[in-house]
Amino acid sequence: MIPAIVRPPRLRPGDHVRLVSPASTPAPEAVEGTSRFLEGLGLRVTVGEHALDRLGYLAGTDEDRLADLNAALRDPGITAVIATKGGKGAYRIAGDLDFAAAARHPKLLVGFSEITVLHLALWQRTGVAGLHGAPFEVSWAGERAAQSFLTAAFTTDDITVTASADEPTSALTTSGRVSGVLLGGNQDMVATAAGWALPDLTGAILLLEAYNLRLGHIDRQLTMLERSGRLEGVRGIAVGQYTECGPTPDEQLDWTAVDVLRDRLGRLGVPILGGLPIGHGSDPVAVPVGTPAVLDAGAGTLTVSAAVV
């Protein structure tokens, strides 16, 4: 069942936002830079107690990462929760979020990549919309990424993302115009969530992007999703950036990530819009997830209603 869509409040100067690390450990200078950027927008910024912890590839123990995230979800004085980084490990705590608190005090969760699994779990259990994107302090984020965050987090304007012919996945674009709730994000996390944190995608537009997946990984994950019935009822596919995806350097193959995507996604028989500047590529845009959207393959646009009110 599709839950009723819940839009958290939009950000305003003076609002309190919390930086947390649900997955891997960010660089301290990246957290400092993100804090300065947000403070420059007039926001009050605090950092989770364990945001800089390190345990292997994780930002501390599961218990501590979860505690930071749940503390932010439970605090009615916090307007938005912003993930410092993706990486690995958010899937380990996604099923233990305080969903009752998230429903009681809806707030905008901002993040992408690994954070997709948290967006999916929250929407499945509470219907709270989120924001996929906003990589503030990485070398490949620029003015477009920053401006898209400002529009998506501070206004209730619809967000229109225009496909770019320069993006390799633009070759996947077919034809057709469909509407539905936009769900998804990082392909690896969509596949990871299947069976426990992935919402029913019937009537949805599925957003997909990826980083550092080999051709076999892309193939196996999409085949699993299709064969398990998790893609039944999907109305359209919005494809973002598949960055550093493809054969390994020692493989001599005539297929690329785009070929695998065309082979797997084309079987669904629904409109596909590729070339969207969403994901891990150069200067990616932020886009709401969990709200109604219109995919127009012919016009090359994905228009998504605001995640906030």
DSSP structural state of residue 145 = H
Say how far residue 154 (Cα) sits from the centre of its chain: 18
Identify whether 164 is a catalytic site residue. no
Strands 287-289 and 130-132: antiparallel
Identify whether 209 is a catalytic site residue. yes
Cβ burial of 260 (10 Å; 0-12, 13-18, 19+) is buried
Round to whole Å and give the CA distance between 167 and 170.
6
Q: Which of 114, 137, 167, 209 is catalytic?
A: 209
Interhelix angle for 215-227 vs 257-265, to 10°? 10
Nearest to 119 by CA among 8, 31, 9: 8
Q: By the 8 A CB rule, do 50 and 59 touch? A: yes
Round to whole Å and give the CA distance between 47 and 144.
25
Q: Which residue do the tokens 């929250």 mark?
A: 122
- The residues, any chain, with a CB within 8 Å of residue 50's CB and separated by 6 or more, are 21, 59, 60, 64, 65, 67, 68
Q: By the 8 A CB rule, do 87 and 112 touch? A: no
- The residues, any chain, with a CB within 8 Å of residue 252's CB and separated by 6 or more, are none
Nearest to 204 by CA among 250, 270, 155, 154: 270
Q: Which of 50, 105, 132, 280 is catalytic?
A: 280
Q: Which of 21, 113, 148, 305 is catalytic?
A: 113
The two counts, helices (H) then strands (E), for the chain are: 8, 13
Identify whether 113 is a catalytic site residue. yes
Strands 272-273 and 236-243: parallel
Q: Which residues are catalytic?
A: 113, 209, 280
